[in-house]
Amino acid sequence: MIPSRVADLVFSAMLAVLGGYICLGAYGLGYLANDAPGPGFFPLWVGLAILGLSIASVTRSLRGILAPPDIPVVDALYVLFASGLTLGFIALSYVIGMLGAAFLLMLGIGLLFGTREPRFIIALVVLACAMTAGLHLLFDRLLGVPALV
Amino acid sequence: MFDSLSLLAHGISNAATPAILMAVAFGALVGLFIGALPGLGPTAGVAILLPVAVSFDGTAAIAALGAVYYGAQYGGAVTAILLGIPGDAAATMTAIDGHQLARKGKAGAALSMAIAASFLGGLIGLILLTLFATSIASYAIAFGPVEMTALMVFSLALVSVLGGRDPFKSFTALFLGVWLGTIGLDPILGMQRFTFGDVRLFEGVDFSIVAVGLFGLAEMFSSPNATAESRDRMARFRLRELMPDFRAMWQCRKPLSMGAVLGFFVGVLPGAGATAATMLAYATAKRSSRTPEAYGQGAIEGVAAPEAANNAASYGSMIPMFALGIPGSGTTAVLMGGLLMIGLQPGPMLFATQQDFVWTIFGSFYIGNLALVAITLLALPLLAACAFLKPGYLYPAVIAIVVYGVYSINYSMFEVALTVGFGLLGFALTRLGYPLVPLVLGMILGPLLERGVRRTLVSSGGDPRVFFESPIALTLFALTILLIALPPLMRRRDALRAARARRRVAGEQLPPDRLVEDN
């Protein structure tokens, strides 16, 4: 389990840093332009709000107010692996083309969330083949999307 | 009223073109399956289909996205009845009696009632939408930039009702969304804001990328075992048992019509949503029933009332979105993003400048609602099978559509990577108790508010008093203050009441001599 209090604290601190960055960026853009609000007017207030609320969240999580339930490590790993596989699809698309990469992505995602038994793997390969053909028909042929090849 | 009817007739004939009919059928089918899949609700469905739909013609795109929304209301009942697991939150009340009926071997009666109630509830909702949308829009047309700015402030304050139980986190998510909306070139002076000099961010972050990442990927990947535990219950139901029972439909006419009307009006209220509508409809049906004790044990009326309510509510929630430009729920927020993506600004002017578009969309809703009855009946065996689909088969298919769909918006792999990033952000936000709807609300309404404030102040020479000269704006600002102040005040009142009750209980337990001392 990932203790949600610690995760909340780290996340709130990161948001506070983001709030500070937005304020600095907004200040550089200019608060006023021709006696009216400039490009930095709105972001400055938004940055201040994020900064203030994040600091409040930091103090609240330190005091343990409304702490969310702990996060199972396995859930976080699922999300990280699935995201990694999708990023892998992007990299592979430039090498073997989008259709091939999508086929491999489907196999990867299926194996990640599936049972990994021989029968399941055969069905998954069939599904991935059918979906790849469907994607080609819908996006490449019907909608004319210029996919990477 | 006759004007509305003639416009509607014109809209239905416009919607009866092959392109729109195909889009409606496609959206309805997708919505039906999305609604039936536990873990994926209408918001995720509309978000996932958004990048695909925007590549259609504008009207067909919104017709398809709308069909996903009301199609999901039909589909949600399937899982709720067969598995006792609501396909989406709005089907929660259906699960109570629907699943009890299924366990008694009356799955067919429950499912056919759900379809009939969904259709009739939807039809009543649509008739009310036709009657009310124009009149609300005609009042709202008096809104100038000042009033629209006040309306945006009011809409953003909805976060106090749309957000989660922690107002700090709800408002943080809201401002995060507003900041995301500022990324790109400044709308007035054209300066780069938070683009890191990357040309791909000059146009800002595409809304569908955020929606797909937050609602689609995050929701899907973070519930890997959502359907696994229900597989062993599959054998209890056979598809041949799913036969309709017309006598029960007549028996339920009262809870059905009551649920539809209630559902519609609750749906109109921003922030109330279809789930609240079903709860109210169920409670009202139970209270007015001669056999309230049957509710919860498998009462067919307990399926009719919430199903009519959630479908009527889905059309009711379209009123604030189309007529005022206020997304009253997560799904309408994503739908409104779709409208903006095809270059249409929802609000009172939409009815004046895009009359054909609006009525064609309303016409497509009528067609879609009718078509859904046939589609649901035909797809029922497949839907029932789909309800038991393993994530190992489901997720690969959905992710492939997502990556291709996102890529097809601007033919950019950078945007696919951004979607993954928003998926991770969505997971972190959800698990740490940050609600996602305020973020979406902020991203959509933030840029509109900024433009309104800056343009108004430019025209008034920087004098902010202009915002307080309009009675409509003043009323909206007062409502905003109420909307923000009321929830914490009510929570405080409840806490005080609870503390007082605890003290009273503690006082009753004290010995008499101690009680005298305390007094």
pLDDT tens, position by position, A81-116:
999 999 999 999 999 999 999 999 999 999 998 888
Q: Which residues of A touch B400 (CB under 8 A)?
A: 102, 105-106, 131-132, 135
Decide if A86 and B401 are in contact by the 8 Å CB cutoff. Answer: no
The predicted pLDDT at position B226 comes to 47
Instruction: Give the number of residues written for chain B.
Output: 519
Report d(CA B100, CA B83) in Å as an integer: 10
> Is residue A92 within 8 Å of residue A101, measured between CB atoms?
yes
Decide if A107 and B178 are in contact by the 8 Å CB cutoff. Answer: no
User: For residue B180, what is the nearest residue in chain A, using CA coordinates?
Assistant: A43
Report d(CA A123, CA B118) in Å as an integer: 35
Report d(CA B137, CA B350) in Å as an integer: 9
Beta strand A36-37 with A32-33: parallel, antiparallel or unpaired?
antiparallel
Considering the entire predicted model, what is its pTM?
A: 0.74
**Residue B202 per-residue DSSP state:** T
Report d(CA B87, CA B79) in Å as an integer: 5
Tens digit of each residue's pLDDT, chain B (519 residues): 667 778 888 888 888 888 889 989 988 888 888 777 655 678 877 887 888 787 777 788 888 888 888 888 788 788 778 766 666 667 778 877 887 887 777 777 788 888 888 888 889 988 888 888 777 766 766 677 888 788 788 878 877 666 667 888 989 999 999 999 999 999 888 899 999 989 999 988 887 788 778 877 776 776 555 444 444 443 345 555 555 567 777 888 888 888 998 888 877 776 556 777 787 788 788 878 888 888 878 888 889 999 999 888 888 888 888 888 877 677 888 888 888 888 888 887 887 788 888 889 889 999 988 888 888 888 877 776 766 677 888 888 888 888 887 887 778 899 999 999 999 999 999 889 898 878 877 887 788 889 888 888 888 888 888 888 888 889 989 988 988 888 778 778 888 888 888 888 777 665 555 444 433
Other beta carbons within 10 angstroms of residue B55's beta carbon come to 17
Decide if A66 and B165 are in contact by the 8 Å CB cutoff. Answer: yes
Encode B304-328 in three state secondary structure: HHHHHHHHHHHHHCHHHHHHHCCCC
Q: Who contacts B107 (Cβ-Cβ below 8 Å, separation ≥6)? A: B81, B82, B101, B237, B241, B242
Decide if A93 and B396 are in contact by the 8 Å CB cutoff. Answer: no
> Is residue B306 within 8 Å of residue B330, measured between CB atoms?
no
Report d(CA B287, CA B366) in Å as an integer: 31
Q: Which residues of A touch B173 (CB under 8 A)?
A: none
Higher pLDDT, B148 or A56: A56
Instruction: Enumerate residues 70 to 99 of chain A having a beta carbon within 8 A of any beta carbon in chain B.
Output: 71, 74-76, 78-80, 82-83, 86-87, 89-90, 93-94, 98
